[in-house]
Chains A and B, each alone.
Chain A
């Protein structure tokens, strides 16, 4: 047996292990204080969230009748009870789907450009532009589409005008989240594909994008959830409609957020009740989209 001499440590000798169990009282109290503060902040943060969801469910759940979900507001005076959100659900589904169909390919391409084909002098400005777009207030986007598309190009109010506004709002979110996901794809994976003799576009399409798929899907669906509740741009581009309009290309359409906005604007209790119902439907829609995102993420990445 060789004897091993350990270098002199400032700690060894003075403190033996069993003595270290006694943490100083001051430190223990500081620890408790910090933990209590963190817990209190957590409570503060979740109270508004639970209150909001709880309130909406409380007020809206009894409105969730088959009639409410399958009827429009056609021929329902503001004072009368009855009516429903069917027309608004159709409008929101169409507008948001169209917006996603426009924003997702565009956003993916921009993100691929930013990550996979960096061009000196262009990548920086594009990224800056995307960041600035993230900060544009949605009403400004609505005003832009209103003046450019609705008035400027004489397109008038329509679902698609709203989709354009929502697309502009979605785009930076899709670009940034996709960009982050593409950056997470390890470089050696790209190199493996390139070394196999795959052209750059093939590498991106068949290797990089599939590897980032679950993250991209989550980002896209979160962006969808984000814009689903937008009201201001829709007021300026889609307008509202008490009737069912299934054609997003022509004429004013209803949508859930505008429905809620409209009904709350009324002083009558029946209208406010309808607004709660619409709000609950909106939250439910977003929750479904979010859960879908989580589900897709989980099933596509078996780890």
Chain B
């Protein structure tokens, strides 16, 4: 259950402004692809275009194609809701549903999609919490509010919530930037384990993190304020961090820029 993503000349923007332009990138299944680059280079916008969440923003524009195993998710016949069931997402700040318990948060995706059978829900929730490495910490308080958890636990709960619906792809938008180093480590371990089953795309500001968890790295940049971000180069993480082909990439990862 992991799909390949391929973007073909993808450009996304808001209204008249283009946030990121002309990205052609292949994301391999069962691997972790890191997207790095300075603020404003459009990496988050790019990520959000992969599950059609970008279009939830009023005035959002998309050109080009995003192929999920050869199916264009922007084809007119495709329902954005279906895409989002295949492509899950974890956000920068942990955002559990505040009115729901821990169990209900993880069950939310299935339950709101119409699943009513208690034993199936329980199974799915248990599995998702185990996969997210949260089971041991919450097993005795599944009925407590999700907001009673710590920030790092909440983020792992959000990951559990995302994988409970068994998506094909997991998008992560700076999932550790609001967390302390210990929680960050827990999430990174989790990412490494999850890549056996999912295609994972992670946007990060933290280059050590990209180097630690990813197999492939894509470097985006932006040439100035108000300009569109672009993909500079992509390659194995090893290659990008050891011997980048582009001068811009080298400047960025060595800290001479951005």
Q: Are B53 and A195 in contact (CB under 8 A)?
A: yes
Interface footprint category on A = 20 to 34
Q: Are A197 and B85 in contact (CB under 8 A)?
A: yes
- Supposing A192-B91, A195-B84 touch, asked if A210 and B108 sit within 8 A by C-beta, the answer is no
Task: Kindly identify, within residues 56 to 71 of chain B, every residue whose CB is under 8 Å from any CB belonging to chain A.
Answer: 56, 58
- The complex places the Cα of A207 from the Cα of B91 at a distance, in Å, of 17
Apart from A192-B97, A197-B113: 7 A-B pairs, beta carbons within 8 A = A188-B93, A192-B96, A194-B53, A196-B112, A197-B85, A197-B165, A198-B81
Q: Does A211 reach chain B (CB closer than 8 Å)?
A: yes
Q: Are B82 and A197 in contact (CB under 8 A)?
A: yes
Q: Chain A residues with Cβ under 8 A from B161's Cβ? A: 192, 196
Task: Kindly identify, within residues 280 to 303 of chain A, every residue whose CB is under 8 Å from any CB belonging to chain B.
Answer: 302
Q: Are A211 and B145 in contact (CB under 8 A)?
A: no
- The complex places the Cα of A288 from the Cα of B135 at a distance, in Å, of 45
Interface footprint category on B = 20 to 34
Chain B nearest CB from A268 CB (Å) reads 55
* Contact among B51, B56, B95, B162 with A186 in the assembled complex (CB-CB below 8 Å): B95
Q: Does B38 reach chain A (CB closer than 8 Å)?
A: no
Q: Does A80 reach chain B (CB closer than 8 Å)?
A: no
Q: Chain B residues with Cβ under 8 A from A190's Cβ? A: 56
Q: Which of A191, A192, A195, A210 lies at the interface centre, i.e. has the most chain B CB atoms within 10 A of its CB?
A: A195
* Contact among A189, A192, A197, A210 with B81 in the assembled complex (CB-CB below 8 Å): A197
Chain B nearest CB from A192 CB (Å) reads 5
List 7 A-B pairs, Cβ < 8 Å.
A189-B98, A191-B91, A191-B95, A196-B88, A196-B109, A197-B165, A210-B99
Chain A nearest CB from B83 CB (Å) reads 8
Q: Top 8 A-B pairs ranked by shortest CB distance?
A: A197-B85, A195-B89, A196-B109, A197-B84, A188-B95, A210-B99, A192-B95, A199-B81
